[in-house]
Amino acid sequence: MSAGMRPAALPMSPQDMIAKIIPGDELEKLSSSVLQSGAAMPPSLSPVSGAAAGTGFDGFLGHMVSEVSAKQADAGAAMREVMSGGAMPLHQAMIAVEEASVSFQLMVEVRNRLLESYQELMRMQV
């Protein structure tokens, strides 16, 4: 082997690749902060039509978290399909991964803005 050549790196597993893009523990923290632990699943997260979903702000947040989780699961399935040599084209898998990543980043930014707003309200003098 010549001095400038490096050995080829082992390919990452699909789970490692998705975990690198969208940290699962971050998604879990966000979903647990939106949904109270031990509480029953709100109707907005049940797989019913959008008309029957919750109309409040908590319903919106719960729906957002469930959509991000579904996109992350779809991206993981697409990457597993590509890595196993299935029929999924690489470009569609990469689109699914990027879509999941962008939706996760949006959810994190919404959470950050909500926390900043709450902190600002708490600093107000009454």
Do 12 and 21 contact (CB within 8 A), yes or no? Answer: no
- Where exactly are the structural domains of the chain? 14-32+54-123
Q: Is the pTM of this model over 0.85?
A: no
Q: What is the pLDDT of residues 88-111, one digit of tens each?
A: 999 999 999 999 999 999 999 999
Cα–Cα distance list, 89 to 40, 56, 63, 80, 95 (Å):
39, 39, 29, 12, 10
Tens of pLDDT, residue by residue over 48-92, are: 444 445 678 888 889 999 999 999 999 999 999 999 998 999 999
**Distance spanning both ends of the chain, measured CA to CA:** 73
